[in-house]
Amino acid sequence: MAINVNTVYQTVLLILNKEQRGYMTPVEFNKIGGQVQLEIFEKYAEDMNQQLRVSQVDLDYSDRQLNIDEKLSIFKTSDTSTYSTSGFILPSPYTGLSSASQLFAGVNLQLIYALTGNALTLANQNAISSVFVADVELTPAQYSITGGNLVLVAQPAVNAEIRVNFYAKQFYRLGTVIYTAGAMPIQELERVGTSELYHLLSSNLTKPTTTYPVYTYINSFLNVYPTTIQSGISVNYLRKPIDPIWNFTGNAQYVFAPATSNNFELHISEQTKLVLKILLYAGVVIRDPEIIQIAAAQVQQEETNKKS
């Protein structure tokens, strides 16, 4: 589903290099790529809000709400929230360790490889992983990360290098908060503001109960009411997209290194917009107003088409 970072980079370079307009280094591309990915990602929520107010056609592939939801679904995730004296802690807070990589080279042929160091730390945090065997990325069905080990489904070829990359899931935006207690019906918590909380707590009809609990969201903590709830809270949230990396080997000439690179996580349908927006920023970098103008016009036209 992801957009290949090399395809995007090569396309950008191709357009930029036309008529010898300029060049974009991998470092510039990586920075701008991350910026553009976040920009497109952040806009989904606004687009969705806009589309929710418009009636949709119930036809395959043309429901705009569903299309945006499909793009967002890549980043939807769910985790349990742990209780502390200050409230429930949001899952996947940024701890400073955003990525880790472990290489298994010259190892005996086997299916299970023990993870160590930062890779193990992130594996235990249920981080996003990618595995490359001889520079070829495995599909999620071809491996699993279990109990601090990388478990392959099939034996790798003799002397094949195995690289496992981990990217920490970073909390981006809070979705629904769920309360589960044994075999009781699962309940969604209602988010309330601090000012209305006091009225709710003192109201005899709307006082929060374990059937209808509420929470306040303050300083990355979820304060759940009634306060007897001290476990069973899970959180649906959007995680932050992983920054794209176009990595290379060699000094004289950049040679794309897929195993240490990272693709754009956006939905594959965003490839055109991604290239155009990177070109827009590239125009700023190489100080070419014509590129900026063309890219901006293209992006604008695409936006208009999508929302008209």
Largest CA distance in the chain: 75
Rounded distance between C-alpha atoms, residue 54 and residue 52, angstroms: 5
Shorter beta-carbon distance to another protein: residue 52 or 109:
52
Strands 190-191 and 214-218: parallel
Query: Residues in the site for another protein, rule: CB under 8 A?
Result: 52-53, 55, 65, 181-185, 190, 192, 196, 200, 203, 205-206, 211-212, 214
Rounded distance between C-alpha atoms, residue 215 and residue 197, angstroms: 9
Closest CA to 258 of 249, 270, 267: 249
In angstroms, give the least distance from the CB of 190 to another protein: 5
Rounded distance between C-alpha atoms, residue 165 and residue 236, angstroms: 24
Residues 6+ apart with CB under 8 A from 59: none
Shorter beta-carbon distance to another protein: residue 18 or 53:
53
In angstroms, give the least distance from the CB of 54 to another protein: 9
Shorter beta-carbon distance to another protein: residue 139 or 202:
202
In angstroms, give the least distance from the CB of 52 to another protein: 4
Shorter beta-carbon distance to another protein: residue 27 or 183:
183
Helices 289-307 and 26-52, packing angle to 10 deg = 30
Distances (CA, A) of 214 to 85, 128, 144, 220: 17, 31, 37, 16
In angstroms, give the least distance from the CB of 269 to another protein: 22
In angstroms, give the least distance from the CB of 180 to another protein: 9
Shorter beta-carbon distance to another protein: residue 99 or 206:
206
